[in-house]
Amino acid sequence: MNDGDAGATATLEDARRHVIETADDLYYARGIQAVGMDELRRASGMSLKRLYSLFPSKEQIVLAVLAHRHELWTAGVTAKVGAAGSPTDRLLAIYDYLADWFADDSFRGCGFINAFGELGAVSPAVADLAREHKADFQRYVADLVAAAGAPVELAPQLAILAEGAQTTAAIAGNAEAAAHARRAAETLIHAVT
């Protein structure tokens, strides 16, 4: 290919990954609708022809970005929880992960909540992926609750605390919500175990 693309010599998977990571940075910082394909073309160093050969539509890029965000979220939470000791510590490690994430200068809230807010009403595929991401997290918390021997109803309560902390931290612009959610989770856990 000799259309001047920066990624022309890269493998297809490398080129796709580059577009996904570039789009993720742009969408997360500024919003999906605020970033046009021409801006993505410039930032990625690829022609529009190359972008559309990798992803047939902007929606396909958005879905790939959300799949990437799901992988990052899952890996991050799983690593933090896996490093914790007791079953209770593993449940609380979710909020420790959130505290680390919220303290990052690039934190702009949950990418799934943001995408759902922007596109959920007009893109069933985006809405479905956001719902599946949230359902996957709730299943993960339910597994941790079961391993801790706690009542089933604790899982959605802890998940809601984590979700609320994400939204609160994004709006407030600080990481305090993670500590508040952690303390509330600790209270709930101790009340039922």
Whether residues 96 and 48 share a domain: the answer is no
Among residues of the chain, what percentage have pLDDT more than 90?
A: 94
Whether residues 86 and 135 share a domain: the answer is yes
CATH number at residue 1: 1.10.10.60
Whether residues 159 and 125 share a domain: the answer is yes
Q: How would residue 10 be classed by pLDDT, with cut points 50, 70 and 90?
A: low
Please check the confidence at residue 2 and state whether its pLDDT lies above 60: no
Whether residues 39 and 8 share a domain: the answer is yes
**Cβ 21 vs Cβ 33: under 8 Å:** no
Please check the confidence at residue 8 and state whether its pLDDT lies above 60: no
Whether residues 41 and 98 share a domain: the answer is no
For range 5-18, the mean pLDDT: 75
Alpha helices in the chain (DSSP H): 12-30, 37-44, 48-54, 58-82, 87-103, 111-119, 124-147, 154-172, 176-192
Count of residues making up the chain: 193
Whether residues 107 and 184 share a domain: the answer is yes
As for how many domains the chain has, the answer is 2
What is the per-residue pLDDT across 80-128, written as a single tens digit (0 to 9) for each?
A: 999 999 999 999 999 999 999 999 999 999 999 999 999 999 999 999 9
Whether residues 100 and 69 share a domain: the answer is yes
Whether residues 157 and 184 share a domain: the answer is yes
Whether residues 84 and 156 share a domain: the answer is yes
Residue 52 belongs to domain spanning: 1-56
Please check the confidence at residue 184 and state whether its pLDDT lies above 50: yes
Whether residues 184 and 124 share a domain: the answer is yes
